[in-house]
Amino acid sequence: MSHREAFLRALDANEDDVTMRLVYADWLEEHGEIEEAERQRAWPAAKEWLVKFYKESWENEKVQLSKYGIDPIDSDGEWPGSIGSYEEMMAQAREAADRGFDCMECGNSNWLCDALRSRQVEFWKNSCIVAGYRLPDDMADKGHFRCAC
């Protein structure tokens, strides 16, 4: 197994291992892969931003729904919208990136949709770092969001 494979396996087993990620970034830099080394160094902060964004959006959703007497959790203990977790939000972002950053659906959440619209450049920047996509230079004109409500 190569050093790269060992690093990638370790990060696959625990993507939040910041020490391993930074050691990997140093290794990449030593091997001339400066851009990927920079992405690896930026990864922890990007994921932290995305998790915080998701939690804030979800908490806002719960508050807003409770104003109307709606319980956002179904009988199975799940949120019935199409983006019910951080992982699902990132899966939607990856699908949108694969389509050329044309559109990302926010599920049944007007508040998540509004949050995505108001912070789309930050969202795409951070999700690209985490997912390993290259952010297009004209991102401000690209990443659009639509609500499936």
3-state secondary structure the chain: CCHHHHHHHHHHHCCCCHHHHHHHHHHHHHCCCHHHHHHHHHHHHHHHHHHHHHHHHHHHHHHHHHHCCCCCCCCCCCCCCCCCCHHHHHHHHHHHHHCCCCCEECCCCHHHHHHHHHCHHHHHHHHHHHHCCCCCCCHHHCCCEECCC
- 35 domain-assigned: no
pLDDT at 48: 95
Domains of the chain: total: 1
- Give a yes or no: residue 6 inside a domain: no
Residue 132 placed within a domain: yes
Say if residue 82's pLDDT is above 50: no
pTM, to two decimals = 0.80
**Per-residue pLDDT at 146:** 57
37 located within any domain: no
- pLDDT value at position 2? 94
Domain enclosing residue 123, as ranges? 43-146
pLDDT, tens digit, for every residue of 2-29?
999 999 999 999 999 999 999 999 999 9
* Residue 5 domain flag: no
